[in-house]
Structure 1
Amino acid sequence: MSSNARAIVVGHGSFPEGMIGAVELITGRGDMFVAVSNYGLSGEDIEARLRGTAAETGVRVFFSDLPAGSAAMAVRRFLRDHSDCVLVTGANLAALLEFAFQQDLTPLEAARQAAAKGRLALIVNGDPP
């Protein structure tokens, strides 16, 4: 795990690794994220892995793929005991890139800004009949 870690990306299958890989290709800053996949894990196992990863890295920001998937629910249980942590759900590449570029902000401030950027990136183009 990187000592530069500022956030954990958690989600289904290879979503975490794929998102972090894309951030690395675009910015070279993939090491500020730690991937945690829920693949093959129970809810309790996901939560245990998240707790261990957060304790090892000191990370207080989590990005998840879905707002109510098993990964996000495990983070929500973790948050009950850690009011100094935040979860950004529905994470997309725009949000992670924004977070990566906001190194001058605290991780919590950067997470808020990343969530706003991620929302703005969702656009429907075209006007089909």
Structure 2
Amino acid sequence: MSEPVRGLVVSHASLAEGLVQSVRQIAGADADVLRAVSNEGCGPEALQNAVRDALGGSPAVVFTDMPSGSCAFAARRLTLDRPETAVICGVNLPMLLDFVFHRELPLPELVDRLVNKGKAAITGSCRETPPHADRAASR
């Protein structure tokens, strides 16, 4: 791939902008590396046009907040005419940070990596024992 992949976060309300701003603050990423689009106030056609305009002509990964709904549908429709575009649904901050630092990878390899990174970042527990509740504290 001749140029690094660009990223676009497409979400409901202001989620995309918040995620993109967080990535920029943490990683110092340029505005052209990762952009945000909200579906707020957009019908299906307007959202698809906004996503198309934000992507430009570069190879890209479109990150959406959910696997269904207007954001994912708009992104998937665009991939029909853009072979160098991938869609990843269920975006999270660790996934986006990894994207910024590995966007030079070939698109299929990058997508696999990002999905794995995003899944690995999701953890949970109901209750931890006191010594493990704050892993940053000295023991």
Instruction: Give the structure-1-normalised TM-score.
Output: 0.85
Matches within 5 A, 1:1-129: 6-29=6-29, 31=31, 32-55=33-56, 58-127=58-127
Query: Given the superposition, is the C-alpha separation of residues 107 and 24 from structure 1 closer, same or farther in structure 2, using an over 3 Å criterion?
Result: farther
| Bigger CA radius of gyration | 2
Which stretch of the first structure deviates more once superposed, 36-45 or 57-66?
Answer: 57-66
Q: What is the alpha-carbon distance in structure 2 between the residues aligned to residue 54 and residue 126 of structure 1?
A: 41
After superposition, the C-alpha distances for 1:70-109 in whole angstroms (9 at most, x for unaligned) are 1111011111222321001000001001111214424553
User: After the TM superposition, which segments of 4 or more aligned residues of structure 1 sit over 6 Å from their partners?
Assistant: none
After superposition, the C-alpha distances for 1:34-74 in whole angstroms (9 at most, x for unaligned) are 1111110001110011112223x524211111110211110
Helix, strand or coil: the match of 1:19? helix
The answer (yes or no) to whether the contact 1:61–1:108 under 8 Å persists in 2 is no
Query: Given the superposition, is the C-alpha separation of residues 39 and 26 from structure 1 closer, same or farther in structure 2, using an over 3 Å criterion?
Result: same
Query: Given the superposition, is the C-alpha separation of residues 5 and 104 from structure 1 closer, same or farther in structure 2, using an over 3 Å criterion?
Result: closer
Instruction: Answer 1 or 2: which has greater helix percent.
Output: 1
Give the paired residue count: 124
Instruction: Give the structure-2-normalised TM-score.
Output: 0.79
The answer (yes or no) to whether the contact 2:67–2:89 under 8 Å persists in 1 is yes
Helix, strand or coil: the match of 1:87? strand
One-letter identity of the residue aligned with 1:83: P
The answer (yes or no) to whether the contact 2:23–2:93 under 8 Å persists in 1 is yes
Over aligned residue pairs, what C-alpha RMSD do you find? 2.0
Q: What is the alpha-carbon distance in structure 1 between the residues aligned to residue 109 and residue 27 of structure 2?
A: 20
